[in-house]
Structure 1
């Protein structure tokens, strides 16, 4: 479920990049940062905010190099016996130049449960390991969805731990003095992070292990600023959908001023979620309208 306000490029110029693990660092019980580099990292283009890329990994436990078709299309086996590659989307937490002029890229992996193929890879990652990603090769691209209109008076940000890297990068991007109301949901107290922003941001951490009121309830109970808002909400699909409904139907936000991004769906892998989206898109429009109305 994604809606975006401002105009974005029609085509995301994504292409494969082979990156090298430089180091890893545990940020909390649930989050592991992997810093990547290598010669091909210099070709990645920024955009900041919630810019994402796709991590390409074999879906099975056997390891090996994942297959990426020309043009960065959907992954799959090219020959009999090849493992199907799993593709997982991750927001770029940070990108920076090193003293030698090369580029470093930080990706933060959530480690809840078995975490799936990407989290398993991250747990075992060591300096020198290689990782293939599909990333943008142009500065402006559809991987950036946080696009507040020019007349925005204040912003609302709501993210769970999967969207925390994007929310943190957005906060760093916001102009100085812009009012922001921010709710960040994490599993444990130790998963909270120091965040940098020049915005006039009021940040509330919602810690599930502390039994905090999470989801739409935390925002519903809040008094919001006046003026023209822009909202960016990301995380688990049902929670994103509920908050989108609250902002538009109950708070009166204009739908085009709310950007919603479902980073994951409870009980579904990313491949299963994509298949469900395709099935929904293939249904007749009247059937989809009836389902929304119910």
Structure 2
């Protein structure tokens, strides 16, 4: 796939042909795939939780059929299901000159994307729908597909999610200023998923390891937390029902303005990867 785009024509997102350069484990439950390609020099991010679309070949195929252009999605949906590339939403973990890192959660042979992530090797192909740095709006501070945006007057933050939000939360924590006050809650499947990193003195990270068959401990941990006084901000992501419950607690029980809470449902318990990925508003 080849696309030529001038700055005048540039849209916020563009399709980029990509090749897998490297694959390495990240803790016990994630694998980091490094994509490369000449066009990836134009990939940028507008926030630490930058979402992109990743298109993968269908099982047994190598060709990735993805329409491009402003009306790509309508034409993608018009393709017969057995001809469409697999499309999933992920977070950019890092973007360098000509390279993009994406972390995939390994959760078994439960769908085409997780199956691909479990067997991916260098040389495999993909297509990324990602921010194009030539889009003029980015120079003016426009944000597209990135939602972490604490208000300037936020005295503290709550950042919480499960392993599917770990790449985004890692980026958020790394971007926190030295004077940040934040309570970070991460629920992961295994002790080996814990990552120790240097943190600003006002940032506390609580790791919760979920055992086999355990219900989520994340809600209980957030409910039990002592939060600072003053105006706050929350960023919540992970299983749709979980983040909806966390949002309800922060708004109803803690009195946090709902406009100061971002919540994103990355997956739905009991549903396939193809289920809708956004929780409904309360």
TM-score norm. by structure 2 comes to 0.84
- Which aligned pairs between 1:220-231 and structure 2 lie closer than 5 A? 220-231=223-234
Among residues 188, 200, 203, which one is paired with 2:202 in the alignment? 200
- Which aligned pairs between 1:181-220 and structure 2 lie closer than 5 A? 181-195=183-197, 197-198=199-200, 200-209=202-211, 214-220=217-223
Q: Give the unaligned 5+ runs of structure 1.
A: 1-11, 97-101, 281-287
* Alignment partners' CA distance in 2, 1:33 and 1:77: 32
Alpha-carbon contact 1:159-1:183 (below 8 Å) kept = yes
Secondary structure of the corresponding residue to residue 162 of structure 1: helix
* Alignment partners' CA distance in 2, 1:171 and 1:34: 21
Q: 1:95 and 2:103 equivalent?
A: no
Alpha-carbon contact 2:108-2:114 (below 8 Å) kept = no
Seen in structure 2, the aligned counterparts of structure 1 residues 216 and 67 have a Cα distance that, compared at 3 Å, is same
Q: 2:147: which partner in 1?
A: 145
TM-score norm. by structure 1 comes to 0.81
Q: 2:4: which partner in 1?
A: none
Among residues 255, 258, 276, which one is paired with 1:255 in the alignment? 258
Secondary structure of the corresponding residue to residue 152 of structure 2: coil
Does 231-240 or 138-147 show the bigger shift? 138-147
How many residue pairs end up in the alignment? 261
* Alignment partners' CA distance in 2, 1:225 and 1:125: 44
Q: What do residues 3-53 of structure 1 show as CA deviations (whole Å, max 9, x unaligned)?
A: xxxxxxxxx822211112111111223111111121011111122310010
Seen in structure 2, the aligned counterparts of structure 1 residues 180 and 45 have a Cα distance that, compared at 3 Å, is same
Secondary structure of the corresponding residue to residue 271 of structure 1: coil
Seen in structure 2, the aligned counterparts of structure 1 residues 41 and 196 have a Cα distance that, compared at 3 Å, is farther
Q: 1:99: which partner in 2?
A: none
Q: 2:62: which partner in 1?
A: 64
TM-superposed deviation, 1:120: 1.6
Please, what is the CA RMSD of the aligned residues? 2.4
Larger RCO (CA within 8 A; separation ≥ 6)? 1
* Alignment partners' CA distance in 2, 1:125 and 1:50: 24
TM-superposed deviation, 1:215: 2.6
* Alignment partners' CA distance in 2, 1:48 and 1:135: 13
* Alignment partners' CA distance in 1, 2:117 and 2:194: 20
